[in-house]
């Protein structure tokens, strides 16, 4: 049954993308949402995406949908990758140990603060780079998808006209 749901969601998205007056607005909205979702500001992703989409020529609904790139299953991987990219570029490596055996709560809290302090710079650099790369990839793939869908739609119209059959109305979302 999940395959049917995915196909239905895809058809709705495709109809929305093709039916939109400017698919690049949808692509930019998705890209903004995807980029914002890679930040550690969990809980604010949708708000930030809508704010950024409001000041750019992009679709706000698409921006909210784009924030689903960063979800509970993908964020740990993205956060790790952001740190790795940032530490590779900046050359900064975290040296604080997170071993909590035989230490008190106060010392453990101190080590956590030290760890976050050491990791903040490489993580931030990696976050910006990965957010830009993911945003560009989402934008490009969405524009490409819109072009392919438009070509398929045109080909269907031409084929039906050559057959002499009137074109069937496009699938409308239920």
**pLDDT digit string (tens) for 12-25?**
888 878 777 888 99
Sign of CA dihedral 131, 70, 142, 63: negative
The span from the CA of 144 to the CA of 135, in Å, is 14
pLDDT for res 169: 60
pLDDT band at 64 (very low <50, low <70, confident <90, very high): very high
pLDDT for res 174: 47
Task: State the virtual CA torsion across 62, 68, 69, 71 in degrees, nearest 10.
Answer: 170
Can you read off the two tokens belonging to residue 140? 């490009």
pLDDT for res 120: 84
Dihedral class, residue 165 (left if φ above 0, else alpha if ψ from -120 to 50, else beta) = beta
Is residue 82 a contact partner of residue 40, using CB atoms and an 8 Å limit?
no
Q: Which residues contact 81 (CB under 8 A, 6 or more apart)?
A: 126, 130
**pTM, whole model, 2 decimals?**
0.77
Please tell me what DSSP assigns to residue 102: T
Can you read off the two tokens belonging to residue 67? 């924030």
Higher pLDDT, 34 or 123: 34
Can you give the length of the chain in residues?
174
Is residue 57 a contact partner of residue 28, using CB atoms and an 8 Å limit?
yes
The span from the CA of 94 to the CA of 117, in Å, is 9
pLDDT for res 166: 60
The span from the CA of 111 to the CA of 98, in Å, is 7
7 has a pLDDT exceeding 80: yes
């Amino acid at each position: 049954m999940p395959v049917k749901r995915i196909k239905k969601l895809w058809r709705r998205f495709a109809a929305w993308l093709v039916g939109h007056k400017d698919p690049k607005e949808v692509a930019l909205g998705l890209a903004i949402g995807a980029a914002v979702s890679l930040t550690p500001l969990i809980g604010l992703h949708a708000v930030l995406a809508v704010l950024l989409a409001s000041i750019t020529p992009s679709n706000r609904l698409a921006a909210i949908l784009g924030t689903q790139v960063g979800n509970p299953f993908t964020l740990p991987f993205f956060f790790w990758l952001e740190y790795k990219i940032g530490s590779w570029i900046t050359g900064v490596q975290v040296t604080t140990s997170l071993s909590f055996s035989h230490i008190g709560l106060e010392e453990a809290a101190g080590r956590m603060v030290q760890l976050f302090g050491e990791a903040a710079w490489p993580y931030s650099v990696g976050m910006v780079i990965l957010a830009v790369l993911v945003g560009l990839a989402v934008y490009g793939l969405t524009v490409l998808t819109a072009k392919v869908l438009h070509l398929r739609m045109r080909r269907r119209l031409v084929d039906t006209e050559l057959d002499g059959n009137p074109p069937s109305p496009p699938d409308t979302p239920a």
